[in-house]
Amino acid sequence: MSASQVIVAHGPKDLRLETRPDETPGPGQVLIAMAAGGICGSDLHYYNHGGFGTVRLKEPMILGHEVSGVITALGDGVSDLREGQLVAVSPSRPCGHCRFCQEGAQNHCLNMRFYGSAMPFPHIQGAFRQTLVADASQCAPADGLSAGEAAMAEPLAVCLHATRQAGEMLGKRVLVTGCGPIGLLCILAARRAGAAEIVATDLADFTLGIAAANGADATVNVATTPDGLAPWTHDKGQFDVLLECTGSPQALAGAVPAMKPSGTIVQVGMGGDMTLPVQAITAKELSLKGSFRFHPEFFTGVELMRKGLIDVKPLISHTMGMADATAAFELAGDRSQAMKVQIAFSG
């Protein structure tokens, strides 16, 4: 039986290249030679801390869920995909039968099998591997895109879902706190949804520079200019929507004075429990909404990229091989020089 390499987290700072047997696609499945995989914030939490919040590694787990690859074999009954085709692979695998799936809220599936997640036990193994068997229904044709672009479909889907949570965006003023990959993709998604003005905040000039080059009308370094949002606080605040992408209570609290009464806060970043400025939110009658994962937005994101309506190429800062996985993870956590770090699974 043939075998291929996988990237496995055993605990904090314990990342290993291991070998696993290759699988054979069954009915309705495809075999994929993996091409590119992006290192996500949750991957970094597993690598740096062994988990986040109450979610901890209890067994070795293959990381990764932002992936693309080339189909090398089709299982029985697969007719809408072809061998040799580049596909973006959705890590979202809802059961389709529970109450939330039946209500169209698949991102809240009671039996979700999301790649690279330690939420359930046994853990759901991830997709940082050289070969993968996936359901054909997970695969979005990515013809015309690079493997790196196709692997950006998952974080883009997160941000498209967040903009849907925010509601009507046309003509609105939008504040994005945090300019990592999710923040940057939220800027692109908000602009595509019709936002009239987008302001971005972060702690690093490097990321703010990328934000300015990719659609932010103004940027504020809140580390060097703590009162940098002051121009937007007059008349009880100017922003209709806040896309909070840091998971930091300080970022949220610092943004509330610039929010317009009856505005909407969408909490996208997940960094653990947060202390909320409840009285200020109450006095301004702000709506606070969570945003968790995605489902149909994955295929929408791929189509937007294929049509040239959203360009993610400037966000891919580094691509490294599997043999350099540990160095890639270290680099991915350095916001002074890296945006989206991807791993190439071949070559």
Q: What pLDDT sits at residue 123? A: 97
Rounded to a whole number of angstroms, the CA Rg of the chain reads 20
| CA atoms of 265 and 254, how far apart (whole Å) | 13
- Quote the pTM value: 0.95
Output the CA angle 295-314-209, nearest 5 degrees. Answer: 110
- Type of residue at 156: L
Q: What are the start-end ranges of the E strands in 115-196?
A: 131-135, 139-141, 173-177
pLDDT score of 114 more than 80: yes
Q: CB neighbours (10 Å) of residue 162? A: 28
Query: How does DSSP classify residue 117?
Result: B
Domains of the chain: 3-152+312-344 (3.90.180.10), 157-290 (3.40.50.720)
Q: What pLDDT sits at residue 273? A: 79
Q: CB neighbours (10 Å) of residue 122? A: 9
pLDDT in tens, 231-255: 999 999 999 999 999 999 999 999 9
Tell whether the torsion through CA atoms of 333, 337, 342 and 347 is positive or negative: negative
pLDDT in tens, 279-317: 999 999 999 999 999 999 999 999 999 999 999 999 999
pLDDT score of 272 more than 80: no
Q: What is the mean pLDDT of residues 160-188?
A: 97
pLDDT score of 347 more than 60: no
Task: Yes or no: say if 323 and 298 are a contact pair by the CB < 8 Å rule.
Answer: no
CA distances from 87 to 7, 19, 35, 233, 344 (A): 21, 24, 10, 45, 15
Q: What is the mean pLDDT of the chain?
A: 96
Q: What pLDDT sits at residue 270? A: 84
- Interacting residues of 299 by C-beta distance below 8 A, sequence separation 6+: 90, 140
Among the listed residues 124, 125, 138, the one whose alpha carbon sits nearest the alpha carbon of residue 75: 138
Burial class (CB in 10 A: 0-12, 13-18, 19+), 96: exposed
Give the model's confidence band at 319: pLDDT under 50 very low, under 70 low, under 90 confident, else very high.
Answer: very high
Give the model's confidence band at 113: pLDDT under 50 very low, under 70 low, under 90 confident, else very high.
Answer: very high
CA distances from 255 to 135, 206, 250 (A): 42, 21, 9
Among 43-57, 206-220, 226-240, where is mean pLDDT lowest?
Answer: 43-57
| CA atoms of 253 and 255, how far apart (whole Å) | 5
pLDDT score of 188 more than 90: yes
